[in-house]
């Protein structure tokens, strides 16, 4: 199935859930790998990401502002948070960071810089996101290499859907948001970005501006 079909399938499923008010209850005590995600005493968790180029921030913020005028109940992510997740490794006190870094360094050296097209908004059950089109499937190739090197990842993330989260739905329904997206933003051209590195970051979910801290930046093979 090509990327466009995967995104379309997701939109048909989750937009209906949101429109009909069938969103699962918001669980602020959600437990991931034995820890409550929003507990302030937790260590951060580690992830590999592609940071979104700041040249795209203005367009995302314009879209966020429009959605906020429609429904201000939702959470609108700060531009510093904009990213494309490759994987989440686990809480920092539960993994061997040095081994993760070493394996990631080896993986990224097998890939050259590439371009991504950011086009159209979509949704998961509680996330509004921008679609990421990767013509040569480089992100997917990196992800599958990571599955080979990190056996624990396959159980958590069986399917990879590249996306940039811009809004978190915190209400029990968001019909007006979905309607506005379908009316104006399903096919919106947001822009292109070049990728020449992968970042390993530590994330504290309960923060906003300071949620993500860069631990290492790993350059692709020029």
Q: Taking residues 20-42, what's their average pLDDT?
A: 92
> What pLDDT is attached to residue 138?
97
DSSP the chain: --HHHHHHHHHHHHHHHHHTT-PPPP-TT-EETTEETT-TTSPPEEEEEEEPPGGGHHHHHHHHHHHHHH-TTSEE--GGG-EEEEEEEEEGGGS-HHHHHHHHHHHHTT---EEEEEEEEEE-SSEEEEEEE-TT-HHHHHHHHHHHH-TTHHHH-SS---EEEEEE--SS--HHHHHHIIIIISS-EEEEEEE-EEEEEEE-TT-STTSEEEEEEEE---
Per the structure, the count of domains in the chain is: 1
Q: 68 pLDDT exceeds 90?
A: yes
Question: pLDDT tens digits, residue range 160-187?
Answer: 999 999 999 999 999 999 999 999 999 9
Residue 157 has pLDDT above 80, yes or no: no
pLDDT on residue 156: 67
Q: By percentage, how much of the chain surpasses pLDDT 90?
A: 91
Per-residue pLDDT band for 158 (boundaries 50, 70, 90) equals low
Range of the domain at 199: 3-219
Q: In CATH, what number is assigned to the domain containing residue 78?
A: 3.90.1140.10
189-215, pLDDT tens digit by residue? 999 999 999 999 999 999 989 999 999
**Entry pTM:** 0.96
């Amino acid at each position: 199935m090509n990327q466009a079909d995967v995104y379309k399938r997701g939109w048909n499923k989750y937009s209906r859930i949101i429109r009909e008010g069938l969103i699962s209850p918001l669980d602020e005590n959600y437990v991931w790998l034995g820890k409550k995600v929003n507990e302030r005493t937790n260590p951060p968790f580690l992830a590999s990401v592609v940071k979104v180029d700041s040249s795209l921030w203005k367009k995302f913020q314009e879209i966020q502002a429009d959605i906020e005028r429609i429904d201000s109940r939702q959470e609108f992510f700060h531009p510093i948070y904009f990213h494309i997740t490759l994987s989440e490794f686990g809480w920092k006190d539960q993994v061997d960071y040095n081994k993760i870094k070493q394996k990631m360094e080896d993986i990224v050296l097998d890939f050259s810089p590439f371009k991504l097209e950011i086009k159209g908004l979509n949704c998961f059950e509680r996330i509004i996101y921008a679609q990421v089109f990767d013509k040569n499937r480089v992100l997917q190739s990196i992800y599958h290499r990571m599955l080979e090197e990190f056996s624990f990842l396959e159980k958590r993330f069986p399917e990879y859907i590249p996306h940039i989260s811009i809004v978190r739905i915190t209400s029990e329904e968001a019909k007006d948001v979905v309607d506005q997206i379908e009316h104006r933003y399903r096919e919106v051209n947001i822009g292109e970005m070049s990728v020449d590195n992968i970042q390993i970051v530590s994330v504290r979910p309960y923060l906003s501006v300071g949620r993500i801290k860069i631990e290492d930046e790993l350059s692709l093979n020029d």
